[in-house]
Amino acid sequence: MAAKKRVHVKKRSRMKFSEVDGDMKIGKGATIIAENKTIVVHGKIKNKGGFKCKGNLEVLSIESTKGNVKIYGDLKAKREVESDKKLIVTGSLEAEDVSAGMTVEVKKDVKAEKISAGAIVRLHGKVEADSISAGAFVRLYGEHTVSKVSAGASVKLFGISNVEKASAGARIVVTSGKIGKVSAGMSVISKKDVEIDVASAGMSVKLLGKTKVRKASAGMRVKAKNNLEFGDLSAGMSVILKKNAVGEKASAGFRIHGKSNITLSGSASAGFSVSACKKLESEKISAGKKIKAKFIKAETINVARRGKLIGKVQAGTVVLNERARAKNLYVSELEMLERSKARNVFADNITIEDYAILSGKVEYTGSINAEEKARIWAKPKKVKELPTPKF
C-alpha cells in the first residue's frame, strides 16, 4: 500500500505498506508490514502504546510513548528514535539519536551519534557511536568505535574496542582493543590483549591478558596475570604481578610482589614489602618491612627500621635504618644506622654508626668510617677493584 498523505494505523490492526509520503500515526499494539521488504516513511512516526514493524523501516523519526517498539528488520532514521519503554531491532540500526526508557537492543550493526537507555543498552553487531549510556548496564558484543560509554552499574565490552572513555558505577570489563580512560566504582577487568591509557577503580584493577597501561590505580589491588608494560601502578593495598612486568613506577600501601621479574625505570615503594621471585630492578626501592628478590638492582635502596633486605644486591647507595638487616651487598655507598646489621659487603665506602654490626666477607676500595661503638666482626680488605655480582 502506497500513500501520499498522513496515514493513521488503528490500534491492534495489521496493515501493509511500501511507501508513505507524509507522517504516520500508529495506534497501540498495531503492526505494520513491508510489502517489498522495506517501508519508506518520508515523515515522522508517532505512536502511543507501542507497535511492531515486520520488515525494514526507513523513516524521518520515531516517537513512541507508553509501549515497546519492535522492528523485525533494519531501522534507518534520519533524526531521532525515541521509545518510552523498549526499542528492539533484529537487524541493523542507523539514526542520529536513539533513546529508550528501559532497553535498547540491536542484533546487528549500529551507527548513531548518541544512544541512551534508562536501564540496558545491548548491541550485538559492529558499533559506531559518539556516546552510549545506560542507567544500569551496557553490553557491546561486536567491534565498536565509541567516544564515550557509561553505565550506572556495569559496562562489558566483549568485542574489539576502540573507546576514548568508559565509566561505570560498579564494574567495567574490556576484552581486547584500545581504550583511553576507564574508571569504575568497584573494579576494572581486562581479559585479552588490551592497551589502556588510564585505568582507575575504587577496589581493584585486574589485567588478565597481555596488557599495556600508562597508569592504573585502585583503592585496594592492582593485579596482572600476564606480561605487563606500564607507566605508573598504584594501589591502596597491593600490586601483584604474575609474570614479567616492565614499567616506570609502582607503589602500594601494603606490598608489591612479582612472581617473575620486575623492571622499573623509576621507583618501587610499599608500606610493608617489595618483592620478586626472580629479578627486581628499579632506580629507587623502599619498603616499610622487607625488600626481597633473588637478584636486586637499584640506584638507591632504603631499608626501613627493623626491615630486611634479602637477596643478592647491586646498588649505588644502600641505607640500613635502625635495626635493619641485609647481606650480599655490592654497592658504591653503604650507610649503616644504629644497631643495623650487614653481612658480606663489597663497597666503595662504608659508614657505620654505633652498635651497628658488620660481619662476613668485607671488601672496599675507598674508606670505612665507623663510630666508636660500631661493631666490625670481620676483617675488611681494601682492594683496587670490587667483584662484579653474577645475576
Domain range list for the chain: 1-91, 302-391
No. of H helices and E strands in the chain?
Answer: 0, 42
* Percentage of the chain modeled with pLDDT above 90: 97
* Contact present, 213 and 234 (Cβ < 8 Å): no
Query: In DSSP terms, which residues pair with 279 in a beta bridge?
Result: 295
How far is it, in rounded angstroms, from Cα 148 to Cα 130? 6
Asked if pLDDT for residue 2 goes beyond 70, the answer is: no
Radius of gyration of the chain (CA): 32
Asked if pLDDT for residue 290 goes beyond 60, the answer is: yes
Asked if pLDDT for residue 316 goes beyond 80, the answer is: yes
| 48-63: average pLDDT | 98
Helix, strand, coil shares of the chain as percentages rounded to 5? 0, 70, 30
Query: What's residue 278's pLDDT?
Result: 97
Asked if pLDDT for residue 182 goes beyond 80, the answer is: yes
Residue closest to 72 by CA, chosen among 43, 100, 105, 116: 105
How far is it, in rounded angstroms, from Cα 249 to Cα 84? 49
pLDDT digits (tens, 9 = 90+) for 13-46: 999 999 999 999 999 999 999 999 999 999 999 9
Cell of 48: 502511543
Paired sense of beta strands 19-20 and 30-48, if any: parallel
Asked if pLDDT for residue 140 goes beyond 80, the answer is: yes
Query: What's residue 379's pLDDT?
Result: 92
Q: What is the DSSP letter of 102?
A: S
Query: What's residue 311's pLDDT?
Result: 97
Query: What's residue 41's pLDDT?
Result: 96
* Contact present, 67 and 51 (Cβ < 8 Å): yes
Mean pLDDT across the chain: 97
Query: What's residue 390's pLDDT?
Result: 81
Cell of 54: 515486520
CA distances from 102 to 5, 90, 119, 138, 142 (A): 33, 17, 5, 12, 22
CA distances from 20 to 43, 91, 207, 219 (A): 8, 21, 53, 57
| 104-111: average pLDDT | 98
Cell of 281: 630492578
Query: What's residue 6's pLDDT?
Result: 83
How far is it, in rounded angstroms, from Cα 241 to Cα 123? 34
| 166-194: average pLDDT | 97
Long-range contacts of 276-283 (CB under 8 A, 24+ apart): 279/391, 280/311
Q: What is the DSSP letter of 373?
A: T
* pLDDT band, very low/low/confident/very high, at 258 (cuts 50, 70, 90): very high
| 308-318: average pLDDT | 98
Residue closest to 30 by CA, chosen among 47, 43, 42, 45: 47
Asked if pLDDT for residue 105 goes beyond 80, the answer is: yes
Asked if pLDDT for residue 230 goes beyond 90, the answer is: yes
Global confidence as pTM = 0.90
* pLDDT band, very low/low/confident/very high, at 122 (cuts 50, 70, 90): very high
* pLDDT band, very low/low/confident/very high, at 391 (cuts 50, 70, 90): confident
CA distances from 83 to 6, 50, 115, 122, 155 (A): 21, 8, 12, 15, 22
| 189-209: average pLDDT | 97
How far is it, in rounded angstroms, from Cα 109 to Cα 134? 19
